[in-house]
């Protein structure tokens, strides 16, 4: 049976104190250490000017479900940088969240007036960082004379959720934050600097999205879009047809396409192909080029090669050779 922890963020709420009280855990400084019955590791809460950082670094012995009740205001925003490579609550229905068919590490930014439920599996190393901040603080950081869809969304829309892939530079920042310890010089300055850098690289990527008129997203619509993504990731050998996805989600075709593009920054088809080519990189670590193409549903190997090169700027054969070379070098 999974263990649940339900909470609601409000003024002067201290997450790790509430978590420690609920599980009878030990708090040392800004960290709460998981009790032996729950797992090994810690959750850290760091207060900075205008932000709070929540670092989850542990391995669970039992599945844990975190349930955050919606806030009554739309001023609070959370940004989750997840290095654990698993999907959250919407991946629990007829889908193995630890199959190989997953996108790379992800960022999720959303207003806190959504109900949020995160299922964290047992026996997996968990590493993710949540930045909690306010809409006004974020807008002040993002001052720009140019017009961006994402900036308009942050400024004016009461509810939104946005996904983006974690870029290599973001991953480097996350590693540096997680590695801060008692021997680190000027740790608070380092935390703040790296948090700002993460936000910078996130929005640098988001600002490249096409300019469209953003739409308000309701919680129930967001859930339907996540279910559509699960359907896309279930089988990379065949992309579901748009009418099938619309019928499955209960959304009109136009609304489905617009909401999906707003949340994930790409059309449904382009997102499918992007993640499909990420999966190709993973498969090439242990399969040949032809085996990889076949497993991903390509009947024409030349088509697979062209698509792979379009996404990664390298032919799959050369990518495979590079993997072999790197493996031999490290042995």
For residue 28, what are the β-bridge partners? 31
Q: What is the pLDDT of residues 265-324, one digit of tens each?
A: 889 999 999 889 988 988 998 899 999 999 999 999 999 999 999 988 899 999 898 888
Q: According to DSSP H, which parts of 44-165 are helical?
A: 135-141, 149-156
CB 76 within 8 A of CB 160: no
Same domain, residue pair 180 and 280: no
How many degrees, rounded to 5, is the angle at CA 209 between CA 198 and CA 102?
Answer: 70
Range of the structural domain that residue 320 is part of: 219-330
Q: Is residue 214 included in any domain, yes or no?
A: no
How far apart CA 196 and CA 204 sit, in angstroms, is 12
Same domain, residue pair 194 and 227: no
Q: Is residue 268 included in any domain, yes or no?
A: yes
CATH number of the domain enclosing 326: 1.10.10.60
Same domain, residue pair 19 and 123: yes
Q: Is residue 211 included in any domain, yes or no?
A: no
Q: Is residue 247 included in any domain, yes or no?
A: yes
Q: Is residue 139 included in any domain, yes or no?
A: yes
Exposure string over 62-75, b if 16+ CB within 10 A, otherwise e: eebebebebeeebe
DSSP 149: H
Same domain, residue pair 164 and 227: no
Per-residue model confidence (pLDDT) at position 175: 87
CATH number of the domain enclosing 30: 2.60.120.10
Domain boundary residue, one of 206, 230, 253: 206
Q: According to DSSP H, which parts of 90-214 are helical?
A: 135-141, 149-156, 168-178, 187-206
Q: What is the pLDDT of residues 221-241, one digit of tens each?
A: 888 998 898 888 888 888 889
CB 307 within 8 A of CB 319: no
How far apart CA 271 and CA 151 sit, in angstroms, is 22
Q: What is the pLDDT of residues 99-144, one digit of tens each?
A: 333 444 689 999 988 888 888 989 988 989 999 999 999 999 988 7
Q: Is residue 77 included in any domain, yes or no?
A: yes
Domain boundary residue, one of 206, 227, 248: 206
Same domain, residue pair 166 and 193: yes
DSSP 240: P
Q: Is residue 236 included in any domain, yes or no?
A: yes
Same domain, residue pair 63 and 173: yes
Q: How confident is the model at residue 242 (pLDDT cuts 50, 70, 90)?
A: very high
Domain boundary residue, one of 155, 179, 206: 206
Per-residue model confidence (pLDDT) at position 85: 52
Same domain, residue pair 18 and 159: yes
Same domain, residue pair 176 and 244: no
Q: Is residue 213 included in any domain, yes or no?
A: no
Same domain, residue pair 202 and 225: no
Q: Is 79 exposed, middle or buried (0-12, 13-18, 19+ CB in 10 A)?
A: buried
Residue 38: C-alpha distances to residues 16, 22, 55, 240 (Å): 15, 12, 17, 39
pTM of the model: 0.79
Looking at the 3D structure of the chain, how many domains does it have?
2
Same domain, residue pair 135 and 268: no
Per-residue model confidence (pLDDT) at position 220: 85
Same domain, residue pair 232 and 296: yes
Same domain, residue pair 71 and 156: yes
CB 212 within 8 A of CB 259: no
């Amino acid at each position: 049976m999974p263990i649940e922890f339900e909470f609601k963020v409000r003024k002067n709420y201290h997450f790790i104190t509430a978590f420690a009280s609920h599980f009878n855990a030990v708090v040392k400084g800004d960290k709460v250490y998981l009790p032996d019955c729950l797992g090994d590791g810690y959750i850290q809460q760091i207060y900075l000017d205008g932000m709070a950082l929540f670092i989850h670094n542990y391995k669970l012995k039992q599945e844990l479900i975190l349930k955050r009740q919606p806030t009554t205001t739309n001023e609070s925003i959370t940004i989750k940088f997840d290095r654990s490579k698993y999907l959250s609550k919407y991946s629990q229905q007829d889908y193995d969240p630890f199959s190989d068919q997953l996108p790379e590490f992800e960022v999720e930014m959303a207003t806190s007036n959504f109900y949020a439920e995160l299922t964290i599996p047992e026996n997996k190393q968990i590493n993710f960082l949540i930045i909690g901040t306010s809409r006004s603080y974020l807008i002040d950081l993002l001052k720009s004379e140019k017009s961006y869809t994402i900036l308009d969304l942050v400024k004016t829309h009461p509810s939104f959720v946005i996904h983006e892939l974690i870029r290599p530079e973001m991953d480097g920042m996350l590693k540096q934050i997680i590695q801060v310890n008692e021997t680190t010089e000027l740790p608070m300055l380092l935390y703040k600097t790296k948090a700002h850098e993460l936000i910078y690289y996130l929005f640098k990527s988001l600002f490249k999205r096409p300019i469209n008129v953003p739409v308000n997203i309701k919680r129930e619509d967001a859930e339907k879009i996540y279910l559509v993504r699960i359907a896309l990731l279930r089988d990379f050998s065949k992309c579901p047809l748009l009418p099938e996805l619309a019928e499955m989600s209960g959304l009109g075709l136009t609304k489905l396409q617009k909401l999906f593009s707003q949340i994930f920054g790409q059309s449904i088809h382009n997102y499918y192909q992007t993640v499909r080519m990420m999966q190709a990189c993973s498969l090439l670590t242990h399969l040949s080029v032809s085996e990889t193409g076949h497993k991903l549903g390509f009947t024409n190997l030349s088509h697979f090669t062209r698509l792979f090169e379009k996404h990664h700027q390298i032919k799959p054969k050369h990518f495979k050779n590079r993997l072999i070379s790197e493996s031999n070098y490290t042995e």
